[in-house]
Structure 1
Amino acid sequence: MRKILIWVAVSLLVIIAVVGAGVLWYRSASQPQIDGQLQLSGLASPVDIVRDKNGIPHIYAASPGDAYFALGFVHAQDRLWQLEMHRRIPAGRIAEILGEKAMPTDRFLRTLGVRRNAEQIYARLAPEARAMLQSYAAGINAYRATRKGPLPPEFVLTGTADPEEWQPADSIAWQTMMAWDLGANWTQELLRMRLAQRLSLTQINEFLAPYPGERPLVTADYTNFYRKLAGVTNELDAVAQIAPPSYVDGMGSNNWALAGSRTSSGKPLLANDPHLGLTAPSLWYLAHLSAPGLNVIGATIPGLPVVVLGRNDRIAWGFTNTAPDVQDLYIERVRRDNPRQYQTPQGWSDFKTRTETIKVKGQADVRLEARETRHGPVISGALPVLDKAPLESKEYVIAFAWTALRPDDLTLQAGLYLNKARNWQEFVNAAKDFGAPQQSIAYADVDGNIGLLAPGRVPIRKKENDLKGLVPAPGWDSRYDWDGFIPFSGLPRQYNPASGQVMTANQKIVDDGYPYFITSEWSLPYRAHRINDLLVVKPKHDLDSFAAIQRDDLSPAVNDLLPILLQVKVDDNRSRQAMELLGKWDGHMAADRPEPLIATAWLRELSRQIFADEVGEDLFKEYWEYRNIQQAMLNVLRNKDGQSRWCLKIASPSAARTAQQASAADSQACQALLPVALRTALDELETRYGEDMREWRWGRAHVAVSSHRPFGKVSGLSRLFNIEVPTSGDTFSVNAGRNSPRDEAAPFANHHGAGLRALYDLGDFENSRFMISTGQSGNVFSPLYANLAERWAKAEYLPMPTAREKVEEGRLGSLRLEP
């Protein structure tokens, strides 16, 4: 028996040793070559790629084409799986590698036709832009053809073969998906359509609160019409569940620039921190391209051949999302006796149709008939219409109009010209090609100029459009058709304003006299007001003061509500302890404090107590993180226009509020909810974090989760691939970190933040600073996979010089690519 045990033990040790050796080999063999020389076809001249001490590639080439080639090469070296996903997602080809669970999303994206439209865009680009895309694709494909060693682990775990050749249209398609992330406001039309099943128009306008100081847009009362279309609404809701996620509801990005009159150096400074969903690896990849006529450094996106956010030798720029209303849903009436036709203002017209074949791993191919109307693709056809569907689901379909689904969208071309722009006029000329998504771009140059421009296609809606683009419109009525786009000369613009300052934080950027409609759903101006306060309090700024603003974690939204919360009368010791802590708190969402957690949990529960009975528990949870629910709650608690009636409980979730109930509403109803919501919130926090609330920590709950695609939610793999780090801030702080209240498992976790931070010194560009949220590598076994995460959480920065002698100091490697 003893010999058997010894044999078993030795065998286990051998197995462990073999596995360990295999992992060590894989860890090493799957890393890219960063030193030495490689001979590659597709280059015109040698290129040097110097990776600095943080793994950032600095590309020194003899021509821009070779520089774009090398950027494609390093993207493939470090982010091959990310590139694979960026190629497959817009093409609707995820089910090929992930199986049936991904097939519904593939159906949706095939229905949209993003990849098909990208091919049409490519044909319309200027020759220089096509050449750039071809060079970049050649660089990716050169890595594919010459790489040695195993593929990254995602390819192994999903059983994915070697990636296919990258095509120029793949880059354009991914740029369109970035526009999707930043412009998918069609879900707000769906939300209003769903709310119309339960609420009056007045209630909808209160729940979807208007921008502070404004009244709701005056529209026709659409509620009765949509109650007749409950089946269509439910079908469209099912489609929304399979659509790729977007981040508009919780968007938060900041940029600002000061003229030299307000800086210590006498030259402009510019700051930018765009916020998107946090991913592992980061969406952003830092890089530097140097070639004759091109010296640009900053944040790239794998799949795109340009520096999206950064600076060259003359100018710096930074984006925030303008979030215009550039998507409309149209209810199209199908001809009863001929379902291949739909109604137009001129009569019946044939749907445009095409057949898509979706390959599904381990299963037979799925055929999809995609239809299109004069407004756009029929997205309600993204899911099979069941035989048992209500009659109106067959009599009506929903078409989708979107500015990014046009064959003349030249946004990627704008990026090429922006990288080379030398002054304000060249910057403006580059922006003329910018189609989607519309961005508010802060600008500064070495000559001392600052500016702001919001380029992009924004549709003009007719004066007789009594729905204002807020809800799905009858497609057969020409009143609701778009009437062109805001002319480029009419888009928001500032140049050297007298204030010496430009700044955007997704707030309303036009005054009441602006002649065009951009959106009625600007983000609340909390971050904008806070940034402005911090800018004006100091007469002269430098990069350190700009950095302090970027890491500012005060929550003005919480401070707006805190005085109301602190008026509550409580009668239990635990609530008194919480009130005592909050009474001494200044509203900073610090990671090492309990108060931010108490306040956030209380407000989360209070919003549910106020709205869920009218809206419906399930629907409310889906839209719990709607960006203006904070304003709606503030209006209710302040009893604006009698809105405290929302605090009264209705008889049942489906019952309509009566006039008698509404007239009985007063602020006492809300006061009664406050202690109830506090006790419920404290119960939850105690269950999650223990009985001693003084030991609770916001950072433990508000951990930033950079989620991997597709393993971020796969048990057993998420711990390996996700990157988690405690963070401060909240949705409305300058250092924004949005949590998802509807996530019952982790309602306070940070899923949406400043994946990139950048500070630019126009007096000495080499002093500029950058940081991304994970690391440069997408290989989980690389030391550069998560090495920046903790520094990012602390709002620290990396220097990114362009001078080669500085780059060479402490470099990780220098690779020469030879033709």
Structure 2
Amino acid sequence: MRLVLGLLAVLLLGAGSGFVTLRQSLPRLEGEIRLAGLSAPAEIQRDRYGIPHIRAQTLADAVFALGFAHAQDRLWQMEMNRRIAAGRLAEILGPGALETDRFLRTLGVRRVAEANLRQIDAETRRLLDAYAAGVNAFLATDPVLPPEFWLTGARPEPWTPVDSASWIKMMAWDLGANWRSELLRMRLAKTLPLARIHEFVAPYPGEPPPEIADLKTLYGTLERDDVQLAEDATRLLALAPGEPPDGVGSNNWVVSGARSTSGKPLLANDPHLGLTAPPVWYFAHLSAPGTNVIGATLPGVPAIVLGRNDRIAWGFTNTGPDVQDLFIEKLDGAGNYLTPEGPRPFTLIEETIKVKGAPDEKLRIRVSRHGPVVSDVSRLAQQQAPRGYVLAFAWTALAEDDRTLQAAHKFAHARNWSDFLAAAREFQVPQQNMVYADVDGNIGFIAAGRVPVRKPENDLKGLAPAPGWDARYDWAGWMPFEELPQSYNPASGRIWTANEKITPPGYAHFITGEWQPPYRANRIAELLDAVPKHSVGSFARIQGDVLSLAMRESLPRLLATRPRSENARRALELLQRWDGTMAQGRPEPVIAWGWWRELTRALYADELGDAFKPNWAPRAVFVANVLAREGDHARWCDDVRTPAVETCEELLALSLETALAELARRYGADMASWRWGDAHYARHEHRPFGRQPFLARWFDILVPSPGDTYTVNVGRQDFFDEQRPFANRHAASLRAIYDLADPEKSLFIHSGGQSGNVFSPHYAAFTDAWAKGEYIPMLTSRATLDAQPHQLLRLIPSP
């Protein structure tokens, strides 16, 4: 309420001093500024899109200027990001943020980042220090702060290298939430046999369920009541910031010159992330002796993460490896936990959480040999008797010898495949499917990152929480770099990844049992095959494709439904003439996804009980198996809460009726007037004001969008959001197409704007073009940039 009143006060002042002051929070973009920390003059030339083109006489000065530009444009985002990573939100947001802070302090991202900084090489540390100096040089100019600082009362502290290192780990957290499905299996084992758990958490299409131990038997043998363990799992599911299973990931592909109109490679990449305002990415161009690189940066991190230099281009998708395991640690009643060698004391860490408007909170963190005890953030777990069990969390990103920071700037300076592989060798978290192309005509791929080796006798394979006292479940090192999936100049002249299974039959190592469904990957393959030689234009059309193979697969079985009403008959007639294209101007996607939502509710809400809502998702492979009556899947159509045995035919007809009534309530009675773009608008949520309805109207960015959870142009909807169940929350955070015949003809776009200041014309400048599948040029030529509208800021070393 205080935030709302604060903004109201600003608005009531109108054109008065409050509004003028906040307008002054826009940074100075032209002229000359004297700054301490530079070794020589540098310049930031912002083009008409607000993209900074930084030119300096040393790489360290260029990185300093990047830190300065990041702070000018994204200071609040950087402040929020570092507070998230450090578990310090309650300091500025109050007691409502305590639960998140407790969890993140327990996870220990910042503690591990501090340890990682002691492992990195001198050059990487020099660049981190230069970047922090650039951020702090901006703070030293005593700027008028963006409105979020005014509304929360927060003040930015000096930036440090550990802030940068911490945010890299939070990005890894966002891309690796396997522990969520482990908790789900543990929770389901309370009521369902293993066979039904395998049906619901469906295996990769065409493959049998994994052979693992019977979970109910395993958890039932524990001395502590397995019902309580299931309740703790439910509590942790609510805390887990991981994503529902489908629609998470990215796309990339590359073709050789033999498959392009130019005779040189083309490379495309569109990482899929949660939509935020401002967006995750910030475009920048760095030029210094030996450096000329442009692409996407993460505010707070001194690196071009995805992009191109004068010789190579690269792009990532998430491999989705299983790099997180939960371990059930058995307590001995004396404060220790059981290991294969006997009892061992926990490592204890004491922390203090400062809370705005409330007393400080003391937090005691326990760490086992596997990792932090995450069940301690659950009040249910804290209330248990001394003798019992706790859940500890193992994650590759918590390794103190992680050197991922070293890889970032090395990608930007790679000149060939050998250099690129050398950088990839140091990239450890999160594992990524990296595609590569160079001006000499070479293309390549490697799934780089640290993946744990699980022992042959491990009968859980990382798919469910394992007994921590049993050595067979311990990790046995890391997969050798040379044995990671990789390819160089394949005979087919093309490579693509979309989070699908990337390992060939007989591959020696276990990476994950939870690959993303192959719908996007199969559609990309279809479209690559459809054109003998590709161009930048054909790649753009692939990135914009909105034909849903998941919907196309199940549509015939949906259409076999017998309508119970005239309304249902009309809906089926519309769907009969539709091919599954998720166009924003059509009603059919609204009908189809409204129906699918009610169908999934009817299929598994009864079996999941209180675990239903946090796990309510489209689950296309599971639904397709049910509709095809695969094996015993038809039993999911029966509502176990009733004495009758319902059939799939009944369920389909009833869920259609329910859906049409709900859609009419939301969008009006005339289904022909429904538009997918209205229901499926892309919502870029501001942190934290997107959770405050009044403030969200000012800070969130909304735009109609096409696509669905399974299209190449992805737009994942969250069924569990009762207010906005079809809104697009997770999509292409950026799109880039690299032309190695003429890198200056490369294109990119991200989903928002360069500025994080709501008063800036660059706050949402890209959003409409992004939603339409349009791009902006990826330019580095000084002559071209000078000839276009721009703003030039000179940074001069202070005496």
TM more than 0.5: yes
Structure 1 position 612, deviation (Å): 1.6
Q: Match for residue 577 of structure 2?
A: 584
1:573 and 2:566 are equivalent in the alignment: yes
Deviations 1:336-359 (A, max 9, x none): 2x1x21101001111110101110
Q: Which amino acid aligns with 2:722?
A: E
Q: Match for residue 57 of structure 1?
A: 52
Q: Which amino acid aligns with 2:152?
A: T
Distance 2:345 2:246 in 1: 36
Q: Match for residue 205 of structure 1?
A: 198
Q: Which amino acid aligns with 1:298?
A: G
Structure 1 position 16, deviation (Å): 8.7
Deviations 1:729-785 (A, max 9, x none): 001000000000111111000000001000000000000001010100000111110
1:418 and 2:408 are equivalent in the alignment: no
Distance 2:341 2:40 in 1: 59
Q: Residue 615 of structure 2 is aligned with which of 617, 623, 635?
A: 623
Task: Tell me if the contact between 1:50 and 1:811 (Cα under 8 Å) persists in the aligned partners.
Answer: no
SS of alignment partner, residue 562 of structure 2: coil
Write out aligned runs for 1:232-247 (5 A). Answer: 232-246=229-243
Q: Match for residue 724 of structure 1?
A: 702
Task: Tell me if the contact between 2:681 and 2:727 (Cα under 8 Å) persists in the aligned partners.
Answer: yes
Task: Tell me if the contact between 1:184 and 1:248 (Cα under 8 Å) persists in the aligned partners.
Answer: no
Q: Match for residue 774 of structure 2?
A: 796
Q: 1:646 to 1:236 in 2, by over 3 A?
A: closer
1:267 and 2:273 are equivalent in the alignment: no
Q: Match for residue 606 of structure 2?
A: 613
Q: Match for residue 501 of structure 1?
A: 494
Deviations 1:657-694 (A, max 9, x none): xxxx9xxx8xx911121111110000000000001000
Q: Residue 747 of structure 2 is aligned with which of 769, 773, 776?
A: 769
Q: Residue 816 of structure 1 is aligned with which of 769, 794, 799?
A: 794
Write out aligned runs for 1:379-390 (5 A). Answer: 379-384=374-379, 389-390=383-384
Distance 1:185 1:776 in 2: 32
Structure 1 position 225, deviation (Å): 3.4
Q: Residue 711 of structure 1 is aligned with which of 674, 685, 689?
A: 689
Q: Residue 624 of structure 2 is aligned with which of 619, 630, 634?
A: 634
Q: Match for residue 43 of structure 1?
A: 38
Write out aligned runs for 1:505-516 (5 A). Answer: 505-516=498-509
Deviations 1:76-132 (A, max 9, x none): 000000010111111111100000010111111111111111111001101000001
Q: Match for residue 322 of structure 1?
A: 319
Aligned length in residues: 785
Q: Residue 301 of structure 2 is aligned with which of 293, 301, 304?
A: 304
Task: Tell me if the contact between 1:711 and 1:718 (Cα under 8 Å) persists in the aligned partners.
Answer: yes
Q: Which amino acid aligns with 1:443?
A: Y
Q: Match for residue 354 of structure 2?
A: 359
Q: Match for residue 213 of structure 2?
A: 220
Q: Which amino acid aligns with 1:769?
A: L
Write out aligned runs for 1:682-721 (5 A). Answer: 682-721=660-699
1:102 and 2:80 are equivalent in the alignment: no
Distance 2:404 2:208 in 1: 34
Q: Match for residue 29 of structure 1?
A: 24
Distance 1:604 1:71 in 2: 45
Distance 2:701 2:27 in 1: 21
Distance 2:297 2:724 in 1: 31
1:344 and 2:339 are equivalent in the alignment: yes
Structure 1 position 381, deviation (Å): 1.3
Task: Tell me if the contact between 1:182 and 1:247 (Cα under 8 Å) persists in the aligned partners.
Answer: no
Q: Which amino acid aligns with 1:706?
A: H
Q: Residue 151 of structure 2 is aligned with which of 125, 133, 157?
A: 157
Q: Residue 735 of structure 1 is aligned with which of 707, 713, 730?
A: 713
Q: Match for residue 182 of structure 2?
A: 189
Q: Residue 636 of structure 2 is aligned with which of 629, 633, 646?
A: 646
Distance 2:476 2:757 in 1: 48
**Structure 1: unaligned runs, 5 residues or longer:** 1-13, 656-660
Larger displacement relative to structure 2 (54-63 or 244-253): 244-253
SS of alignment partner, residue 436 of structure 2: strand
Q: Which amino acid aligns with 2:286?
A: L
1:531 and 2:524 are equivalent in the alignment: yes
Task: Tell me if the contact between 2:367 and 2:373 (Cα under 8 Å) persists in the aligned partners.
Answer: yes
1:547 and 2:547 are equivalent in the alignment: no
SS of alignment partner, residue 195 of structure 2: helix
Q: Match for residue 462 of structure 1?
A: 455
Structure 1 position 247, deviation (Å): 6.9
Q: Residue 759 of structure 2 is aligned with which of 778, 781, 786?
A: 781
Q: Residue 596 of structure 2 is aligned with which of 590, 603, 624?
A: 603
Q: Residue 120 of structure 1 is aligned with which of 93, 115, 137?
A: 115
| TM-score for the superposition, normalised by structure 2 | 0.96
Larger displacement relative to structure 2 (296-305 or 218-227): 218-227
SS of alignment partner, residue 358 of structure 2: coil
Deviations 1:469-500 (A, max 9, x none): 11100000101000111100000000000000
Q: Match for residue 658 of structure 1?
A: none
Task: Tell me if the contact between 2:708 and 2:716 (Cα under 8 Å) persists in the aligned partners.
Answer: yes
| TM-score for the superposition, normalised by structure 1 | 0.94
Q: 1:248 to 1:45 in 2, by over 3 A?
A: farther
Distance 1:200 1:219 in 2: 12
Structure 1 position 24, deviation (Å): 4.3
1:283 and 2:277 are equivalent in the alignment: no
SS of alignment partner, residue 175 of structure 2: helix
Task: Tell me if the contact between 2:690 and 2:700 (Cα under 8 Å) persists in the aligned partners.
Answer: yes
Q: Residue 445 of structure 1 is aligned with which of 396, 416, 438?
A: 438
Structure 1 position 383, deviation (Å): 3.7
1:69 and 2:60 are equivalent in the alignment: no
**Structure 2: unaligned runs, 5 residues or longer:** 1-8
Deviations 1:610-658 (A, max 9, x none): 2221222x322211127xx211111111111131121122245xx9xxx
- What's the Cα RMSD here? 1.7
SS of alignment partner, residue 716 of structure 1: helix
Q: Which amino acid aligns with 2:626?
A: V
Deviations 1:165-204 (A, max 9, x none): 1110111110000000001211110000001111110000
Q: Residue 431 of structure 1 is aligned with which of 420, 424, 445?
A: 424
Q: Match for residue 393 of structure 2?
A: 400
Q: Match for residue 6 of structure 1?
A: none
Distance 2:773 2:244 in 1: 22
Structure 1 position 206, deviation (Å): 0.3
Q: Which amino acid aligns with 2:126?
A: A
Task: Tell me if the contact between 2:46 and 2:792 (Cα under 8 Å) persists in the aligned partners.
Answer: yes
SS of alignment partner, residue 58 of structure 1: strand
Task: Tell me if the contact between 2:186 and 2:233 (Cα under 8 Å) persists in the aligned partners.
Answer: no
1:138 and 2:133 are equivalent in the alignment: yes
Distance 1:244 1:585 in 2: 36
Distance 2:565 2:227 in 1: 46
Task: Tell me if the contact between 2:455 and 2:476 (Cα under 8 Å) persists in the aligned partners.
Answer: yes
Larger displacement relative to structure 2 (249-258 or 588-597): 249-258
Distance 2:794 2:83 in 1: 31
Distance 1:16 1:185 in 2: 44
Q: Match for residue 334 of structure 1?
A: 331
Q: Match for residue 80 of structure 1?
A: 75
Task: Tell me if the contact between 2:190 and 2:230 (Cα under 8 Å) persists in the aligned partners.
Answer: no
Task: Tell me if the contact between 2:205 and 2:517 (Cα under 8 Å) persists in the aligned partners.
Answer: yes
Task: Tell me if the contact between 1:64 and 1:291 (Cα under 8 Å) persists in the aligned partners.
Answer: yes
Q: Which amino acid aligns with 1:650?
A: V
